[in-house]
Amino acid sequence: MRAERLDGGAATVIIGQKVLAGSERAFETWQEDMNAAASDYAGFLGAEITPPTDVQPDWVVVYRFDSVAHVQAWINSATRQKHLDEGQRYFDGPATQQVLGGGKQPTDPLVTVVVSHRVARGKVDAFLEWQERLRLEESQFDGFRGSELFRPVEGVQDEWTALYRYDTAANLDAWLTSKKRQDLLAEGEKFSDFELRTVDNSFGSWFAFDENGNEAPPPSETKTSIAVWVGLYPTVVLLTLALAPLRMPLWLGLLIGNLLSSFIMSFLTMPHYVNPLLGRWLRPPAGASKVKTNLRGIALVAAANAFWVLVFFLVTTQFWTLP
């Protein structure tokens, strides 16, 4: 298990909140307002809201900032406290919060467990040794995909936070309910005052991370829109050509086509075509000329669309016509 120092690099805040029955829609609207307020603070990279799932009973909110210092500024702000005071009517108990920094985000959709421990100063070495034994045991179970250990962050949180990931909820549950884990928890009884949360996703998105899986500032809205356009055009046309022989009515064809295009864009077009093609334009290297980068990006966009226009023109007029 890797120990990460939280004194630099991007930081992620994971907040879990139980919501009163019947207040879910109001809570989500309130949370969106809270996220909008966070976006005005320095270093903000993005925020996501995840409703409860079969493996995670809480609403989970994730904030990304470019540094722990900027996270601290937001968490301790009067703006956030004002919003929290307004949102109390929707909460079913206190929220839980973990701050993670310096780690890498997985690129696969994994099930993640976040465990926070309060550890006395004189017991840190024993805690680290116990955590290493936990890591060695959990790594023997099917579906294990890695773990990280994050130290407390002065001024933000006092807890140590362990993160470990499995490929499926079933494999995770096999570890959580195993006798090996129960025995180790008994051995580490002095560290048993912990909070555990299971999160059924990896908080991934098209533009949240760079090509190495690290947190990175998102491109501008203009660049993002153009990048999606570059991927959407061939995706939609190819789907239209593929579905045309089925002769579905317009309303049904669009319903199915939009569903398929969403999956194709998320899992194929964006990560394997658009991001590799436009990566240096979406996130220019440090020190790169802005003018040259934009000219290169515009040229790539024009060339990619011209290529697909030519291909689809020939396919639909010279080789085949839509039924």
Q: What percent of the chain has pLDDT over 90?
A: 21
Question: Closest by alpha carbon to 188, among 122, 118, 140, 131?
Answer: 131
Give the model's confidence band at 46: pLDDT under 50 very low, under 70 low, under 90 confident, else very high.
confident
Cβ atoms of 225 and 278 closer than 8 Å: no
Average pLDDT, the chain: 80
Q: How far is CA 35 from the centre of its chain?
A: 15
| pLDDT tens for each residue of 206-248 | 444 444 444 455 677 788 889 999 999 999 999 998 998 898 9
Give the model's confidence band at 20: pLDDT under 50 very low, under 70 low, under 90 confident, else very high.
very high
| pLDDT tens for each residue of 91-110 | 988 887 777 765 444 444 56
Cβ atoms of 7 and 72 closer than 8 Å: no
Cβ atoms of 148 and 161 closer than 8 Å: no
Whether 275 shows a pLDDT value over 50: the answer reads yes
Whether 90 shows a pLDDT value over 90: the answer reads yes
Give the model's confidence band at 200: pLDDT under 50 very low, under 70 low, under 90 confident, else very high.
low
| pLDDT tens for each residue of 172-182 | 888 888 998 88
Q: What SS3 state is found at 193?
A: coil
Find all residues with CB under 8 Å of 7, minimum gap 6, and list them.
Answer: 68
| CATH code given to domain 2-199 | 3.30.70.100
pLDDT of res. 220: 76
pLDDT of res. 114: 79
Tally Cβ neighbours within 10 Å of residue 213.
14
β-strands 144-150, 2-4 pairing:
parallel
Query: Which has the higher per-residue pLDDT, 143 or 203?
Result: 143
Tally Cβ neighbours within 10 Å of residue 104.
14
Q: Which part of the chain is CATH 3.30.70.100?
A: 2-199
Mean of pLDDT values over 190-199: 66
